[in-house]
Amino acid sequence: MHLITRHSIRRNQWRHVADEEALGSGNVTVSLRRWRLQRETLLARFRPVGVRLQPDDAVADIAADLDRLDLLALDFGSFADGRGYSQARQLRQQFGYRGELRALQARRDQLQFLARCGFDAFELHPREDTDAALAVLKRSATAYQPAADGQSLVFRRRRHAQFEHVFNSIEGARRR
């Protein structure tokens, strides 16, 4: 499994621990269910802890704990299941989550959409090529609409582009 951010390959420091598995040492993510059951134990380890969310988990259920989590990992279940994109935007824009938001089993054709919805780390699908995936993230892409990416609505950018155009031509004329 390769982990990348928007800019580079990164070494994975995290272990995704199944519900019955021992926590062990080091950074771990657990399911939302385990987090609910063992919240105090997990916090008492004084180690970075993260939660894995499934497509049908309501992100509001974790909202109160977001400050205590270093990582949220979203499992999409299947490539065609788009709930994670809405979960991500809610986490970032509605609940103000600032920690790492990681997409699991990511394929390159999703990456730009994922990044725009607020993901900043991607565990690639085993069949995915790391360099090709990074190239996709670095590629510039035109977007019409705002998401969790600070982009503004295209109609607004057009207006500004027009102002700039007018301003530049006035400037140009002045200099001549």
Partner 1 sequence: MYRYDHFDHSLVQERVREFRDQVRRRLAGELSEDEFKPLRLRNGLYLQRHAYMLRVAIPYGLFSSRQLRALAGIARRYDRGFAHFTTRQNIQFNWPQLEAVPDILEELAAVEMHAIQTSGNCIRNITSDHLAGVAADELEDPRPWCEILRQWSTLHPEFYWLPRKFKIAVTGAARDRTALRFHDIGLRLVHNADGVTGFEVWVGGGLGRAPAIAERLRDFLPGTQLLSYVEAILRVYNLHGRRDNLHKARIKVLVQAMGVDRLREQVEAAWQAMDHAALALDPAELAAMQRHFTPVSPARRPLPVGPPPDPRAHPGFAHWLRQNTRAHKDADRRIVYVSLKHPGAPPGDITAAQMEAVADLADRYSHGELRASHEQNLVLAHVANRDLVPLWRALDAQGLATANIGTVQDMICCPGIDFCALANAASIPVARGINQRFEHLDELYRLGEVRIKISGCMNACGHHHVGDIGILGVDKHGEQWYQVTLGGSASDGSRIGTRLGPALPAGAVADAVAAVLEVFAEQRSGEESFASVFRRLGVKPFKELVYAPHHETLDTPQPVAACS
Q: Which of 144, 172, 173, 175 contacts partner 1 by CB under 8 A?
A: 144
Q: Which of residues 41-60 bind partner 1 (CB under 8 A)?
A: 55
* Residue whose structure tokens are 């582009």: 161
Task: Give the nearer residue to partner 1 in terms of CB position, either 45 or 159.
Answer: 159
Q: Dihedrals φ, ψ of 26, to 5°?
A: 85, 180
Strand order in the sheet with 49-53: 9-10, 3-5, 121-124, 100-106, 71-74, 49-53, 27-31, 14-16
Using CB under 8 A as the criterion, what x/- string covers residues 115-134 for binding partner 1? -xx-----------------
The verdict on 98 binding partner 1 (CB under 8 A) reads: no
The verdict on 153 binding partner 1 (CB under 8 A) reads: yes
C-alpha angle with apex 120: 116 to 122, nearest 5 degrees?
105
Q: Which of 67, 80, 172, 175 contacts partner 1 by CB under 8 A?
A: 80
Min separation Cβ 118 and partner 1, Å: 10
> What tokens appear for 114 in the block?
């994922």
Task: Give the nearer residue to partner 1 in terms of CB position, either 9 or 132.
Answer: 132
The verdict on 146 binding partner 1 (CB under 8 A) reads: yes
3-state DSSP assignment of residue 49 = strand
Min separation Cβ 152 and partner 1, Å: 7
The verdict on 102 binding partner 1 (CB under 8 A) reads: no
* Contact of 119 with 103, CB cutoff 8 Å: yes
* Contact of 88 with 63, CB cutoff 8 Å: no
The verdict on 82 binding partner 1 (CB under 8 A) reads: yes
Alpha-carbon span 76 to 55, nearest angstrom:
6
Which residues in this chain contact partner 1 in the complex, by CB under 8 A? Answer: 55, 79-83, 85-87, 89-90, 93-94, 107, 109, 112-114, 116-117, 139-147, 149, 152-159
